[in-house]
Amino acid sequence: MPMPSAVRTTRRSVENVECDALVVGAYQGSDRLRLSADVLTDALAESLGVFSALTDFKAEVGDVRVMPAPDRLRAKAAVVVGLGREESLGPFEARAAASAAGRTIPGARVVGCALHVGLPEDTAHAAMEGFLWGLYRPPDHKSIRGRKRSRTVVFPGVQAQALARARAYADAVGLARDLSNEPASQMTPEAFAQASEQVSTGKGLDCVVLDQQQLSERGFGGVLAVGKGSRRPPCLIQLRYSPADPRGRVVLVGKGVTFDAGGINLKTDPQELVRMKTDMAGGAAVVGAMSVLPRLAPSLEVIGLVPAVENLPGGGAYLPGDIITHYGGRTTEVSDTDSEGRIILADALALASELDPDAIVDVATLTDAIVRALGPQATGLLANNDVLSQELADAARSIGERLWRMPLYKEYAADLSSDLADGRNQPVGGAGGAIKAALFLHSFVREGIPWAHLDNAGTAGTAHPSAFGGATGAPTSTLLAWIEQRAAGR
């Protein structure tokens, strides 16, 4: 991830930050534009306001204008970002506005960002993380690459601890995006495992990777079945963060399908196939979150499980009508090989249930149904426990991501019944697909364990990779905020 070479704070006032570009926020008002938190003098605000009026700047959330800096600033340029109305500003709006600014920043060597100044703690964090998020650029595979330039980002007036937290979140999201953005021929199951081992080496994480033989010996029938159609063998990545005197234990499970062609039920839309390198975005979010836990140091034991496979229609591919025996013994009739994510997650959820967790959260680009229901602005949340559901929703809200809880109607489970096995992976009837997929997963969670499923099929990527860097990393930040808040007893 091409992050800034340095991210630091300074005690200097906003006006005295020496930089090539200074980023400030502006609120919508009925009479004139007003800079956020009054970080600049009235004279400077008036100067910027005049320029903004001339460029028809309305200060809507994410609207950005780059302009010459007034003489009294020690910056060469001013970047004014719309924050919307002050009374409506929260973490979501701050994150969106800040990331828009980061994407718009010209090739400046030193950038000052004052979007966090004067804001409440959660909103300030979202602004800092969002700005760093916006600076992200995907891995560059061009034959002739532009010269890499070092960049320093300065956040005036912020405590070092708060800035370190924002940087850790941004690094976690950046790793998740990098993993998802790599071409599938390079980010294979083996490469995914190696990347996970690399981020754990010497960094306070334990990493164990079960290879194909070990998966066979231990009975991970779902992971093995989906991986049969590829010459690249599947694996199961296990990461563990174990602090001293933890307050409890939670397990994160992420879908790691490094490329999904649909198997024998081959996908027919070429554009959909192009996006399938990001079908491991759930697993990437888990690995990204796990990678920074030693830096954040929450007093909670966290285990990450990511089954990594390719779903291809090779000569050994699993077939519609096959019966799979999962880890733990439950069986599934395969009714659609393109519903492979739930098959590999079933194994991982069964294993997670054996680890005596206080809660399990899985993340997966699981269904088109959630995209049709919520679009790209919210991750679907389905849970068997109201308290856990509320914890996740509060965590997402605090850092500016969106979750939307969907029902988990038990009556729909009848559509997953099979005459030949304990269940089928694709339900009878198309309606309610996101709910039915979650019900399939729930059947592999041991009774009594609080569990939640996050379907990020809509939020994991964007249709404009050149502008936004393809994969978004959602909901990595939500996972981190939930872990921190749970460890703190909130």
- Quickly tell me which residue has 């600033």 as its tokens: 73
Residue 329 exposure: Cα atoms within 13 Å on the Cβ side = 1
- Catalytic residue at 342? yes
The span from the CA of 357 to the CA of 66, in Å, is 50
Pairwise CA distance, residues 59 & 57, whole Å:
6
**Are 231 and 189 contacting, i.e. CB atoms less than 8 angstroms apart?**
no
Burial state string for 262-298 with b = 16 or more CB within 10 A and e = fewer than 16? bbbbebeeeeebebbbbbbbbbbbbbbbbbbbbebeb
404: left (phi over 0), alpha (psi -120 to 50) or beta: beta
Q: At which residue do the structure tokens 């990779």 appear?
A: 465
Is there a contact between 434 and 406 (Cβ–Cβ < 8 Å)? Answer: yes
Q: Which of the following is catalytic: 65, 255, 275, 342? A: 342
Triad 479, 480, 481: Cα angle to 5°: 95
Residue 323's CB is within 10 A of a number of other CB atoms, namely 14
Q: Which of 267, 295, 405, 446 is catalytic?
A: 267
397 is catalytic: no
- Cα 389 from Cα 387, distance rounded (Å): 5
Distance CA 174, CA 291 (A): 11
Known catalytic residues?
Answer: 267, 342
